Amino acid sequence: MKFENNIEFAMQLDSNDPLHSYRMKFHIPRTPAGKDVIYFAGNSLGLQPKSVRACVEQELLDWETMGVEGHMHAKHPWLPYHEFLTSQTAELVGAKPEEVVNMNSLSVNLHLMMVSFYRPTKARNKILIEANAFPSDHYAVQSQIKFHGYDPAESLLEMKPREGEVTIRTEDILDRIEKEGDSIALIMFAGVNYYTGQAFEFEKITDAGHKKGCMVGFDLAHASGNLKLELNKWECDFAVWCSYKYLNGGPGAIAGAFVHKKHLLDMTIPKFWGWWGQDKATRFLMDHDFRPIPTVESWQLSNPPILQLAALRASLDIFHEAGMSALRAKSELLTGFAEYLINENNNGNIEIITPAEINERGCQLSIRAKQSGKALHSKLNEAGIICDWREPDVIRIAPVPLYNTFADVWNFVKLLYS
């Protein structure tokens, strides 16, 4: 689309937007003066769907009036409650229903997946990760390496951008895998890097890893609810994500996990066991023989937090109704418009470090403010724009297709250069 640099054009995009009414389904925070903020922090904490309250209150009511009977007799019984989210979660990440489950939190799930899919041997004990991966992911892989008796200084391979570049070239990743793959046990990448906003090429990385006999897993914290994912088709071995960013599941929301179908019946894969992974038909015999559920649910340890599942369920309904294809189509336009306006009005202080190639990014743009970035961020904040600051000089903005408008984008860029 050919964009134009004026507010009328932004408003026209809004009135042509088939998803425009979805904004009404969310609570938009206000400034002290009572104006809607421009909320560009959906990559940190997504906004609250208005439907969440009724969903959570239903469970509070059933607990209030039924106590333990709610496990069987709540309007939405708690015993199978997580199953009510399965098909929509599968749809969201492009998986089969038996491949996805909502459980625990992200870093916990990452560890549980590494218990199963990082099985180092003397000849093959390395993990390949992005050098600027999110700290928790770095801590998780380091500690897994140490847990198995290896030394992160030798067993942790970090993928860095080329000298003078900010994002990592796919060809360099594939080349590294080709050269060092024989010693790599696990390739663990983000779906979208939290800092640069770079989306990685899942299928190419997965194929290259598999050719060399490596396991390949993805952290989708910044990808789920943002990109159109095809985890089953891409044959990733596992993936994990949190649900409080683009998925609008609420602070500390219950997280998700994917294990590819090909691994589900493999009894040789080590796994930590808990009673919620036990065969459902005979779980309450309370015997001590573990018969795993033949789906990814066998990775569940505990009975899950129903209030959190209820909140996430309300949000997944919205994703299901809107559809990831339509959301992604709007997202490309919305972020494309932001990129156009930033470049069109550029005063030399701003550089977008997120890839310009649409397939290499989600909705986030990371903007490097060359001078007085922090002051610029404060100014934006005071003007009612919620976006975040990452040291040393990056402002991250995430125009989210569910609740952001083209006018939001216009107003933001106007302030950015005011």
Ligand X SMILES: *Cc1c(COP(=O)(O)O)cnc(C)c1O
Task: Give the interface with ligand X as residue ranges (CB under 6 A).
Answer: 105-107, 134, 136-137, 190, 194, 219, 221-222, 242
If the CB atoms of residues 62 and 130 are measured against ligand X, the closer one turns out to be: 130
If the CB atoms of residues 58 and 105 are measured against ligand X, the closer one turns out to be: 105
Helix axes 306-322, 52-66, angle to 10 degrees: 150
If the CB atoms of residues 107 and 198 are measured against ligand X, the closer one turns out to be: 107
Closest contact distance (angstroms) between CB of 255 and ligand X is 6
If the CB atoms of residues 247 and 352 are measured against ligand X, the closer one turns out to be: 247
If the CB atoms of residues 23 and 138 are measured against ligand X, the closer one turns out to be: 138
Note the Cα 148 to chain centre separation in Å.
28
Alpha helices in 277-323 (DSSP H): 306-322
Closest contact distance (angstroms) between CB of 223 and ligand X is 9
CA distances to 161, 351, 411 from 395, rounded to whole Å, are 20, 10, 16
Quickly list DSSP for 354-409.
S-SSGGGB-S-EEEEESSSHHHHHHHHHHTTEE-EEETTTEEEEB--TTT--HHHH
Largest CA distance in the chain: 70
Closest contact distance (angstroms) between CB of 363 and ligand X is 14
Taking the C-alpha atoms of residue 191 and residue 201, their distance in angstroms, rounded to an integer, is: 8
DSSP H/E element including 256? strand 256-259
DSSP 8-state code for residue 352: E
If the CB atoms of residues 258 and 410 are measured against ligand X, the closer one turns out to be: 258
Taking the C-alpha atoms of residue 232 and residue 118, their distance in angstroms, rounded to an integer, is: 20
Which pair of tokens denotes residue 98?
């038996």
User: Taking the CA atoms of the chain, what radius of gyration do you get in angstroms?
Assistant: 22
Which pair of tokens denotes residue 144?
């897994």
If the CB atoms of residues 22 and 195 are measured against ligand X, the closer one turns out to be: 195
Closest contact distance (angstroms) between CB of 326 and ligand X is 24
Closest contact distance (angstroms) between CB of 253 and ligand X is 9
Closest contact distance (angstroms) between CB of 271 and ligand X is 20
If the CB atoms of residues 78 and 244 are measured against ligand X, the closer one turns out to be: 244
If the CB atoms of residues 136 and 349 are measured against ligand X, the closer one turns out to be: 136
What's the burial of 381, exposed, middle or buried (CB within 10 Å: 0-12/13-18/19+)?
Answer: middle
* Nearest C-alpha neighbor of 19 from the set 328, 230, 317: 328
* Nearest C-alpha neighbor of 115 from the set 230, 217, 244: 217
Closest contact distance (angstroms) between CB of 107 and ligand X is 3
If the CB atoms of residues 107 and 298 are measured against ligand X, the closer one turns out to be: 107
Taking the C-alpha atoms of residue 237 and residue 217, their distance in angstroms, rounded to an integer, is: 6
Closest contact distance (angstroms) between CB of 86 and ligand X is 21
Note the Cα 145 to chain centre separation in Å.
24
Closest contact distance (angstroms) between CB of 246 and ligand X is 10
Closest contact distance (angstroms) between CB of 351 and ligand X is 23
Closest contact distance (angstroms) between CB of 261 and ligand X is 25
* Nearest C-alpha neighbor of 49 from the set 31, 24, 84: 24
Residue 388 phi, psi (nearest 5): -120, 165
Taking the C-alpha atoms of residue 37 and residue 56, their distance in angstroms, rounded to an integer, is: 26
If the CB atoms of residues 100 and 223 are measured against ligand X, the closer one turns out to be: 223
